Structure 1
Amino acid sequence: MPIALDLEDTTAPTPELWELYTDGESGPEGVGTGLLLTGPNKEEHTYALRFNFKATNNEVEYEAVLVGIRLAKEIGVKKIQTYVDSYSVSNQINGSFEAHNKGMQAYLALARSLVREFNDFQISQIPRSQNKQVDVLSKLAALTFNHLEKKVLVEQVFKKSIKPSQLTDVVEEAEHCWMTDIIEFLKTGSLP
């Protein structure tokens, strides 16, 4: 169940809702996070961030949320719905679970102090299957990619590099077989 930290001033116009999806990845090759911040006009801010420090899965899930919240604040977001696939992080921030160790308590305290700066903040836990886009980004960021530049551009390509006519294989048979008449028809249009 999401928590709504509603600190909205009723005299001010209602800000438009933004959505933040986050995911963290911690593994032997590295630590990374994926973020997708979507505005009310469907504009997207997508990030894959690699962290140069070791972190547990819960720590990196918190790091993902914190980076996303800071990004949202930086661009002036006032009302935000956050989606994470971490059951623990979501429930700790919304108050359903307590953080037991000092590290998680520190992350929780920081997260709660940051979300108070929004007019409206909600966080919900969603299944991993609904968080695939940022899951892929977090895995990309967690992998070792020292050989890449800081920016990796992604471009959509809509046509193959070769023409369809280049895809046909020419089969040459030494003697007459069942394909010979078909091939002759395709080449010349003459019926057998």
Structure 2
Amino acid sequence: MKIQHLEVISNSLLMVNQINGEYATKDAMMVAYLEVTRKLIKEFKEFKIDQVPRNLNTKADALENLGSNINLEKFGAIPLVHVLSPAIEKESTLNVYEIQLESTGKEEGSWTKPLTEYLLSKTVPTGKVAA
């Protein structure tokens, strides 16, 4: 599978304008990320990135705010990931996996299976941690 056309919609005006070259990128780390982004963009036949104004982006804002509304007493613990080094220090910054679909349309043994099942049928995994 080779994606040829990619359209990205972001709520970050800064990021969109930096990628489009309308804003200067001054921070060294952001310059490094921008270089990686531009390298990846060249792999597409067509690439477009646009910014959605906040007032038109209510669904993304609601999703963004879900984390602050989690009832911690229900879960007991929430795993946190501490990123020790930026992703751009590694040779590969993007891993793409092809998923073999069975005739049922579900990904057997894949980390995406619980997500797909939830999105398609609202089936929540059993167990506190998995759910």
Higher strand share: 1
Question: Structure 2 length normalisation: TM-score?
Answer: 0.49
Higher helix share: 2
Question: Structure 1 length normalisation: TM-score?
Answer: 0.35
Larger Rg: 1
